Amino acid sequence: MTLTRRSALGMVAAIPLATGCVFDPSAIRVGSKNFTESFVIAEIYAQALEAAGMRVERLFNLGSTQIAIAAMERGDIDCYPEYTGTALIDVLHLAPIVDPGQAYSVVARLFERRYGIVWLAPAPMNDSQGLATTRAVAQRYRLATISDVARAAGLLRFATIQEFLARPDGLPGLQRAYGGFRFREIRTYDIALKYRALLENEADVASAFTTDGAIVTDRLAIMRDDRHFWPPYNVAPVVRRVTLNKRPQIARVLDAVSARITDRAAQAMNAAVESAQADPSDVAAAFLSFDKAGATK
């Protein structure tokens, strides 16, 4: 090969090294699970950290809770938004705790001890699990509480996601806590499609999250959890201890934003993304800037 050809190859090889961002150990890796709210809150965390001058890598859409925890343990991500109720029941396999403060301190203590993961300040919002029906179905079968649904289940078609059928705080747990819950028919859907099944009368009851955007904007009703089966699901940033030790300022930044995420804010952001097709990063940016101006959503 002539000299010029050799040097051309060399220059091409140098490009990735020069740009330097192939491996960036100084970046904080923020993860999210695979549903809208997780995206939005993770994006809020990421932008807050960037605003504070830190480099952030986003590894969103990880999948289920198990995948997210595994990724944290392996060090593939440094933090992500997790829910106290999910942690309590799905990860630690404990019985539900009704008091939000108590639930939080239990998960915080055990996560640090077992996984080296630190829970930062919880948000006021409570994205609890629940069961939703249309107002029409609720009237027809006189459904107002979870117990009502448990009893009437034999007449009802149930729409849910795969995870709900397996989670201890999903259908198996409901069956144990309330009895009944032998649905006439069960079908699994993609997480965003199950409300459509309700609205298009393909199902009567659906598993739900109380801050889902769809609930705000549509003719749905949430059943009251009369036996307090579900614990509170407060979202908080969970961070690897080793990362926090290296960058303690992460706590200050994330605590500040976390404390401002209310039920209403969450619902509005979710609705914007789901119905209005807004981009999570735009919605998160709006949240952060509104907050600076002092206005609430």
Tell how strand 56-59 and strand 28-31 pair up. Answer: parallel
Q: Which two tokens stand for residue 104?
A: 């939080």
> By C-alpha distance, which of 186, 116, 174, 173 is closest to 150?
174
288 binds other proteins (CB under 8 A): no
Residues of span 101-140 touching other proteins by CB under 8 A: none
59 binds other proteins (CB under 8 A): yes
Minimum distance between the CB of residue 155 and other proteins, rounded to whole angstroms? 30
280 binds other proteins (CB under 8 A): yes
Burial profile 148-178: b = 16 or more Cβ within 10 angstroms, e = fewer: bbbbbbeebbbbbbebbeebebbbebbeebb
Q: What single-letter amino acid sits at 252?
A: R
Minimum distance between the CB of residue 256 and other proteins, rounded to whole angstroms? 25
Draw the binding track, 65-104, toward other proteins (x: CB under 8 A; -: no contact). ------x--xxxx---------------------------
CB nearer to other proteins: pick between 185 and 279? 279
> By C-alpha distance, which of 230, 183, 260, 284 is closest to 88?
230
Cα–Cα distance, 186 to 161 (Å, whole number): 10
46 binds other proteins (CB under 8 A): no
Pick from 3, 4, 15, 292 the residue near other proteins by CB under 8 A: 15
Segment contacting other proteins by CB under 8 A, of 19-27, 129-137, 178-186, 205-213: 19-27
Segment contacting other proteins by CB under 8 A, of 117-125, 143-151, 269-277, 287-295: 269-277
CB nearer to other proteins: pick between 58 and 146? 58
Cα–Cα distance, 99 to 58 (Å, whole number): 33
Opening angle at CA 118, ends 112 and 119, nearest 5: 115
Cα–Cα distance, 278 to 271 (Å, whole number): 9
Cα–Cα distance, 182 to 64 (Å, whole number): 26
21 binds other proteins (CB under 8 A): yes
Segment contacting other proteins by CB under 8 A, of 20-28, 110-118, 150-158, 230-238: 20-28
39 binds other proteins (CB under 8 A): yes
Tell how strand 129-134 and strand 157-160 pair up. Answer: unpaired
Number of residues that bind other proteins (CB under 8 A): 32
Q: What single-letter amino acid sits at 187?
A: R
194 binds other proteins (CB under 8 A): no
Pick from 7, 11, 13, 242 the residue near other proteins by CB under 8 A: 13
Binding stretches for other proteins (CB under 8 A): 1, 12-13, 15-16, 19, 21-23, 29, 34-36, 39, 57-62, 71, 74-77, 192, 273-274, 277, 279-281
